[in-house]
Amino acid sequence: MRYLIDTNIFLYLTTDITLLDNNVRNIFDDYQNIFYISAESVKELILFYRKQKNKTKFWKNETEMVLSIESELNIKILPIKKEHLLTYACLEINKAQDHNDPSDHIIISQAITEKIPLISSDQKFQFYTKQKLDFINNAK
């Protein structure tokens, strides 16, 4: 099965795997699963790294981090396509919970368009299930 992982899940995978609940760990333990990360998440990771928020023992710089996503972690980077932007343009935003993060909205739109379950710890994503988001909540 294919899965799209949110930025926070990537950070947990690379910094503290104990922040993943058992359900999500089981998904990662199944070697038949294929994992994707949005190019938007990679952009966020680069920004986090530059702000010193994502310094780990794994990478010496941002370039090394980006290259390792596919080569070492075996996570495919999902580019942002026109179809994703069309979904994004029509996405009903979760105003009730003040969910104004455009990066989240792009990632959600990719998951909806590609029909890939999205794994995240962000509770606000639940709102988008009525728009056909297949959401897997990391309940830690």
Q: Residues 57-76: pLDDT tens digits?
A: 667 788 988 999 999 999 99
Closest CA to 98 of 137, 118, 127: 127
CA-to-CA distance for 16 and 10, rounded, in angstroms?
A: 10
3-state SS, residue 76: strand
50-101-14 Cα angle (round to 5): 45
State the pLDDT at residue 57: 60
- Residue of 130 and 57 predicted with greater confidence: 130
pLDDT band at 140 (very low <50, low <70, confident <90, very high): confident
CA distances from 119 to 6, 10, 35, 74, 115 (A): 6, 10, 10, 16, 13
Longest Cα–Cα distance of the chain, Å, equals 41
pLDDT above 90: residue 15 = no
Model confidence band, residue 55 (pLDDT cutoffs 50, 70, 90): low
Task: Work out the pLDDT band at 128, boundaries 50, 70, 90.
Answer: very high
Fold held by 2-137: Rossmann fold (3.40.50)
Please give the C-alpha separations between residue 114 and each of 3, 36, 99, in angstroms, as whole numbers. 10, 11, 22
- What is the per-residue pLDDT for 56? 60
- Backbone phi, then psi, for 122, in 5-degree steps? -80, 110
- Domain boundary assignment for the chain: 2-137
Condensed to tens digits (0 to 9), the pLDDT of residues 21-30 reads: 999 999 999 9
> What are the tokens at 51?
């702000």
The residue count of the chain comes to: 140
pLDDT-wise least confident of 11-15, 46-50, 57-61:
57-61
Q: How far is CA 6 from CA 39, 67, 77, 101, in A?
A: 11, 18, 12, 13
Give the span between the Cα atoms of 91 and 107, in whole angstroms. 11
